[in-house]
Amino acid sequence: MPARLFSGIFILIIVCLIVPACVEAQLGGSSVSLKGTVSETVIISIPSNATQNDFNMNVVNSGSMVRVTLSGTEASVIRVPLIIRSNSNFNISAAVESKTAELTQLAVVDVRATGALALPGAVSDLKVAQQFDRRGLSEEPNSVTGASPLDVSRPLFVLSGPRASLGGTVDAPNNALQVMFLIRIKPQAARGWVINLTFAASAVGIF
């Protein structure tokens, strides 16, 4: 090993020993600790390619909120995948607005992790409100003609869960939960219908 490299290492060792002593002397021997916090974050979205042919869907993803505008001319059974990324526990609620259609079902039919950076246990520990939980159950017939409308006069609490993501970015393909919703819509008139569905997420503590 060249002498110059030895000299550099020796100087580095001396600096490492002297600097902490100087800092302690200047602070009167008191110790200093650095603390930081991580913001609680829940990001939800619906993929841009989550479309079907028998209705129109417009999606606006906005961090912890997703607004979905659905429209069509006939009763529809729609499947919408909601993607959840979070570094904390979270709650998800849904609000519905429409003057031309009724929501007759909003159900969670499947939950899966999208990859290796999804937290182990995030799927099994997800809690879906009983009235919306149809995981593992056979699906009902596609007809919504005789179904009773849901009471959507106030936001609906849908589900809660633990931290979903181990790391990655807000658009990484492998760090999220995908919750598949089944939505049944019954038109109130033959001229067509429009319904606005808003999913909202809130963080409820670092997990």
Give the tokens for residue 56: 């129109």
Inform me whether the pLDDT recorded for 18 exceeds 60. no
Kindly compute the dihedral angle of the four CA atoms of residues 190, 196, 197, 198, in this order, to the nearest 10 degrees: 180
Q: Please state the rounded mean pLDDT for residues 162-191.
A: 92
101-157 pLDDT, tens per residue? 999 999 999 999 999 999 989 999 999 999 999 998 876 655 555 578 899 999 999
What does pTM read for this prediction? 0.77
Inform me whether the pLDDT recorded for 25 exceeds 60. no
Q: Please state the rounded mean pLDDT for residues 77-85.
A: 95
pLDDT at residue 128, rounded to an integer: 98
Burial track 119-158 (b if 16+ CB lie within 10 A, e otherwise): beebbeebebeeebbbeeeeeeeeebeebebbebeeebeb
Cα distance from N-terminal residue to C-terminal residue, the chain: 49
Mean pLDDT, the chain, as a whole number? 81
Q: Which of 74, 79, 87 is nearest to 188 (CA)?
A: 74
pLDDT at residue 141, rounded to an integer: 57
Inform me whether the pLDDT recorded for 13 exceeds 50. no
pLDDT at residue 206, rounded to an integer: 55
CB atoms closer than 10 angstroms to residue 38: 8
Handedness of CA 111, 112, 113, 115 (dihedral sign): negative
Domain-wise residue ranges, the chain: 42-206
